[in-house]
Amino acid sequence: MYYTRLQVICDPDFSEILMAEIAEAGFDTFMETEKGFEAYVELENYDKERLLEVKERYGRQFPLVFYQDRIEKQNWNEEWEKSYQPIFVEDQCVIRAEFHKIEKEYPYVITITPKMSFGTGHHQTTYLMVKGQLTIDHQHKRVMDAGCGTAILSIMASKRGAKEVVAFDIDEWSVINGNENIEVNQCTNISLQQGKLQQLDITGTFDIILANINKNVLLDEIKLYQQYLVPGGLLLLSGFYTHDIADLLNEGAKFSLQEVQRDERETWASLLLRKTY
């Protein structure tokens, strides 16, 4: 059996939304690469017009390359597992799949059930967020995980002693995979919903808000995060580049969010902000 392979080179900020769009055109298997991702479907079994529309629409927003070829069927999981590596954070935490053999013991072990049909996120930003969480007191805190993806940050918050974690993501795959990960890690205090913050009926305030998304979404929603934070509450952000820090700090300042600390990893950055009233 043969498959159509679509190799996509794109801005990492848009990888997951492009995966979702391309899935709607019929592609059903995805694997992240250094420059973007690859998508697979049984030969010719996809909507060519829809795929072209996706390419043209997003190609107007940022540099985007699609390259198609034909390959023979292979053991996808075996190939994918070769490329998926565990994430080690500050010698304190390891984020691993069940097929990884980790000989050393870590204070925090997060086991995920990654899917080829779901982006695992940028290791740099995941690293920065988990590293940031290691500096924050989660004990008995109420935590929001905005755009939770695989729910790694929610699980870390639970393992760090959070009282309750409210997580959400717009992507159905995220909700399905996130709930699997929550169950595997036996975290009973995490609730995960599908939708945008503006659409969900989330009540009460939070001591900590975690948001590993992208610059544009963060700039748009930072005012909402501020509304949900208690006075003195903490907002941990990542998913943006180091050259975006000033824009995020300027926007945060409009809503009484003051920088506590920042961190960088390669070209990526994170910010910890505190609500000052």
Phi and psi for 75 in degrees, rounded to 5?
A: -80, 95
Specify the 3-state DSSP secondary structure of 226: helix
pLDDT score recorded for residue 130: 97
Strand-by-strand arrangement of the 257-265 sheet: 190-194, 164-169, 142-146, 206-212, 229-241, 268-275, 257-265
Cα angle for residues 268, 270, 273 (degrees, 5° grid): 160
pLDDT score recorded for residue 83: 67
Pull the structure tokens for residue 90: 């500050």
Regions of the chain with pLDDT less than 70: 74-83, 115-122
pLDDT score recorded for residue 122: 57
User: Which one, of 153, 195, 199, lies nearest residue 171 by Cα?
Assistant: 195
pLDDT score recorded for residue 239: 85
pTM higher than the cut 0.85 = no
3-state secondary structure 42-84: ECCCCCHHHHHHHHHHHHCCCCCEEEEEEEECCCHHHHHHHHC
pLDDT score recorded for residue 49: 94
